[in-house]
Structure 1
Amino acid sequence: MYWQIGKVIFEEQQQGEDRAAYGTYLMQRLAEQLQPQFGTGFSRRHLHWYVQFYRTFPIVNALRSQFN
């Protein structure tokens, strides 16, 4: 789930760039939308971690082999 969240943010929102054109506002806005519904695991800091997780393991099959 965290990998998928990171993928969506990185590929769709940031369009593959290190940061979205509008910087940290994107993460803050997403956190404000997700936290009330899903809880504290969707803070701005956590969203950054999810993106980093995806960037570290961009191929989901490689991720699976690391944890087997």
Structure 2
Amino acid sequence: MQPPNKDTNYQKLIENIGDAYQNSKKKATSAINTQMLEAYWEIGKYIIEFEQEGNLKAEYGKMLLENLSKELSLRYGSGFNRTNLTYMRLLYDKYPICGTLSHKFS
């Protein structure tokens, strides 16, 4: 009998396990990315709704994003700098219907 590492059936077993692992890892990453994209869209929505206070146009000149950045970074860590919050806001502004996002960015 050959040692397991030389056996072609054993090598196929290793390949199958590796393929299953890699495929699941890709699917998990994709699911996480989709959820994060939806979260960023929702954060952008909250920011715009807060800024506009029911008006069609927002009042500019407020320090909202700067203040949010400081508060959210203290509570939740990195990822909430002013630039990222601006991008989240722009994401909602560009795609006001969330359902279209996953198709656009997949």
Which TM bucket (shorter chain)? 0.7 to 0.9
Q: 2:51 matched to which residue of 1? A: 14
Show structure 2 runs of 5+ residues with no match: 1-38
Higher relative contact order (CA 8 A, sep 6+): 1
Q: Does 1:65 align with 2:103?
A: yes
What stretches of structure 1 move > 3 A for 4+ residues in a row? none
Aligned equivalents of 1:39, 1:23: Cα separation in 2: 26
Aligned-residue identity in percent = 37
TM-score, normalised to structure 2, is 0.54
Equivalent residue pairs, number: 65
Aligned equivalents of 2:104, 2:82: Cα separation in 1: 26
Q: Aligned AA for 1:54?
A: Y
- Equivalent runs, 1:39-50 vs 2, <5 Å: 39-50=77-88
Aligned equivalents of 2:101, 2:61: Cα separation in 1: 28
Q: Does 1:51 align with 2:103?
A: no
Q: 2:64 matched to which residue of 1? A: 26
Q: Does 1:37 align with 2:41?
A: no
Q: CA deviation at 1:21?
A: 2.6
Aligned Cα RMSD in Å? Answer: 1.7
Aligned equivalents of 1:40, 1:23: Cα separation in 2: 25
Aligned equivalents of 1:9, 1:21: Cα separation in 2: 12
